Amino acid sequence: MDDSFETLISGYLDNEVGISSDFINEALATNLQNNLLTIHGKGLFHSAGTGNDSVISQDKKTRSDEIYWLDKKHEDKYENEFFSQMDDFVKYLNHSCYTGITDYEFHYSMYERGSFYKKHLDQFKSNSSRQFSMISYLNKDWKEEDGGQLLIHPEKGDQTINPTQGKTVFFKSSELEHEVLVSNKQRMSITGWLKRE
């Protein structure tokens, strides 16, 4: 068992949000960032929307990031290494907390300078399959003045999280409101949800 798994879970149980500074190791984070930049450079990202598959809205006043979905069918070495890590985490989570997670979905996120995502919940009103949200950051040498912090709103009071490389955040999709503050330079992550159908 990876110590970072228990760090995420115990942090969530104690504080509504789990944070691990090294869920993704340095080498994998760097390779995933390079993948993201290559794919983005090819123009394969698209503007992110809000809502589910049947009702989707693209409102730049709510969110202004771009995304690209990860898929095992891509047969990409580093994406598959990330998926392997997630498979191990889901197995550990289900065994230790009986969560019944059966699936997941993840995408690359790119916030260009000036981009943001206003306060929201991740679980759809019309579909409760998203159980837990996970965000893994791919930003080396991030500084406070770079902005782009994740601002979460747990019962214990607001918390700001810097999107530094390798860090992963874990919380309940239906319970924790959160937002991405305006980024002052390119901000990259892998964002996704653990699902129970």
Neighbours of 179 (CB within 10 A): 16
Q: What is the pLDDT of residue 50?
A: 57
Q: What is the pTM of this model?
A: 0.91
Q: How far is residue 62's CA from residue 115's CA, in Å, rounded to a whole number?
A: 10
Percent of the chain at pLDDT exceeding 70: 93
Range of the domain at 59: 3-195
* Residue 124 pLDDT greater than 90, yes or no: no
Q: Look up the CATH number of the domain holding residue 8.
A: 2.60.120.620
How high is the pLDDT of residue 156? 86
pLDDT at position 56 is 47
Q: What is the DSSP letter of 145?
A: G
How many domains, in total, are found in the chain?
Answer: 1
Bridge partner residues of 180 (DSSP): 117, 150
